[in-house]
Amino acid sequence: MLTRRNWLLRLSVVLNVAVIFYFGSILTVRNGNPEIVEEMQLSGRNLASLDLSQAADKEAFYYQSASGGSANYPELALLASIQPIAGQQQGSSVQTPVQGTTLREEGHVMKIKPKTQVVADSSDVAADTSVGSAAAESWTPEKKDAGPTQQQTSTTTTASSTSAVAAAVAVTPLRPLRDLLGCSDKSNRRRIAQRGDYWVLYNYVPARRWFKCDESITYTTHADYTFLDNLEPLLDRWRGPISIALYTPGADFMPTLSAIRYLRQCRSPLVAELVTFHLYFASGHVPKSVPHADRDIDATVNCSVPPPWSNITAGSLYKGQRKLLYPVNVGRNVARESATTHYVLPSDIELYPSPGVIEGFMEMVRRQDPPLRRPKPMVFPLPIFELASNMKLPADKKELVSMLKNGSAITFHKKVCPDCHTVPKFKEWASAKPKSGISVFHTGKRTGYHLHWEPIFIGTHNDPLYDERLSWEGKMDKMTQGYTLCVMDYEFHILDNAFLVHKPGIKTLKKDPARQVLAGKTYSLIKKVILPELKVLYGVRKGCAV
């Protein structure tokens, strides 16, 4: 009898140990077996798709056994006191967690939010993964799906998953404009640097708003401070970033800074918001002092007094008194290279664009109209016009064409150099019926009748720069760039419904003996020095000339 009791006691101990280990293994599975978690991670499936039905069924069995109780098995009583998964009711049959449940953390409690019950197999998991990848790669805005209101059968769910995969494959992802342009953002930090014989204060007075490379087009220009009265009408029509390089030799520096302060504090708020000012001067004409602190650059201005550029003549400037030539191409290049956007419109400050150019052009780029898909390098010229004095600026092409018909508007430099600025197919451009938006009207070349064309165009930072040895007084300052574009086989995609108009006042040819002498020297410099250099660097092409 004693031997039988000892045997039963030993058997009881063994059974207790076995039960403890068994329930320990169940708890391990329930709380996330490391091996199962690792397998899920390697397979690419989400923890939410972990099928816990078998473990839950076994738990239900042992919960029921524990509720029967046994004083000899306190471990079962302890397990019975553990709360089931949130969302399950004690004393009821355990609900099987469904495929596709999501876990969300509220404090320290992980709750399971059930979705529609499905019977998933490996193909369903693969389908879900494919849909997820397609959704991640798509750039269309995410929309919330309310989900089905009733439980779906296995067959229906599989068909839906297949349809979802097909739909995801059918949708072509939208390429971000940044990827389309292959551009990257640029800094607008202040810096001082030498550029040949010139000192440049880059971003000396930066705009309050900074633009990413794919956000807009930057109008880049140049001037001395006597031309800053053009900035407000220019901004009123452009409504986008402007990068302007101001020539400030010697004593012209401080009046220029005063003019910038006046514009930012006393005139349109768009000046401070959108315009970045760069200042430059030759090494032999450095100002006596250059403020660097913001408190000095943005010192308070008396807005009741006339602007600094009023009643100032060219002869009264430091530049005029010292008979300095205006280094126009240094200013053009400084302003263009400092633009933070991919697209730039290098222009002259007295040329005002038609409203809506930025929006219309960027929309054309997003559409990728056929001319934009061509493999050759390209720029986008805007036709240029002059207006009679005191004429109101045309709001659109329809108004401009009407002014051309009544003679209050003419093509730019028609009475000075008609070949220099008349775009190819201009008569067709002017007679074409105006339409909304911006598009390419005609693709031309700088050859034949347009051999000496000096277009002003929307381009990019990849386009050739202007030769900084040329001055405004010597003329022909854009001709060498035009030759380079021709040799590089650029296409000139002339824009429809976009144009530039000069500050009202039609130019006429005036004799200027001193300037004619400088023009002769410039022509000689181009023919004997610059053009041979360009032929070595870029080669030659039939029909191209300076």
In a domain, 310, yes or no: yes
Residues 6+ apart with CB under 8 A from 428: 441, 442
Measured distance CA(254)–CA(250) in Å, rounded: 9
- The answer on 546 and 397 residing in a single domain is yes
- The answer on 196 and 47 residing in a single domain is no
Pick the most confident of 76-90, 243-257, 499-513: 243-257
- The answer on 448 and 301 residing in a single domain is no
pLDDT reported for residue 415: 83
pLDDT higher than threshold 60 for residue 188: yes
CA distance readout (Å), 446 to 159, 485, 490, 540: 60, 8, 9, 14
Which residue would you say has higher pLDDT here, 421 or 473?
Answer: 473
- The answer on 434 and 343 residing in a single domain is no
- The answer on 452 and 320 residing in a single domain is no
Question: Which domain, by its residues, includes 55?
Answer: 16-120
pLDDT tens-digit series, residues 317-376: 999 999 999 999 999 999 999 999 999 999 999 999 999 999 999 999 999 999 999 999
pLDDT reported for residue 507: 84
Average pLDDT of the chain, as a whole number: 78
- The answer on 308 and 392 residing in a single domain is no
Question: Letter for the amino acid at 99?
Answer: Q
In a domain, 366, yes or no: no
In a domain, 460, yes or no: yes
Which residue would you say has higher pLDDT here, 91 or 231?
Answer: 231
pLDDT reported for residue 244: 98
Give the percent of the chain with pLDDT over 70: 69
- Print burial letters for 334-347: b (CB count within 10 Å at least 16), e (below 16): bbbbbbbbbbbbbb
pLDDT higher than threshold 90 for residue 91: no
- CA angle (337 as vertex; 332, 341 as ends), nearest 5: 115
Q: What is the pTM of this model?
A: 0.69
pLDDT reported for residue 14: 67
Choose the final residue of a domain: 120, 143, 169.
120
Which residue would you say has higher pLDDT here, 101 or 260?
Answer: 260
In a domain, 170, yes or no: no
pLDDT tens-digit series, residues 380-397: 999 999 999 989 999 999
- The answer on 431 and 342 residing in a single domain is no
Residue with tokens 């590089």, as numbered in its chain: 488
Residues 6+ apart with CB under 8 A from 502: 350, 351, 352, 384, 385, 386, 387, 412
- The answer on 527 and 381 residing in a single domain is yes
- The answer on 397 and 340 residing in a single domain is no
- The answer on 457 and 387 residing in a single domain is yes
Residue 529 CA, chain-centre distance (Å), reads 40
CA distance readout (Å), 255 to 252, 258, 309: 6, 5, 8
In a domain, 329, yes or no: yes
pLDDT reported for residue 3: 59
In a domain, 339, yes or no: yes
- The answer on 343 and 381 residing in a single domain is no
Closest by CA position to 70, among listed 9, 26, 12: 12
pLDDT tens-digit series, residues 468-519: 999 999 999 999 999 999 999 999 999 999 999 999 998 888 889 999 999 9
pLDDT higher than threshold 60 for residue 37: no
- The answer on 203 and 80 residing in a single domain is no
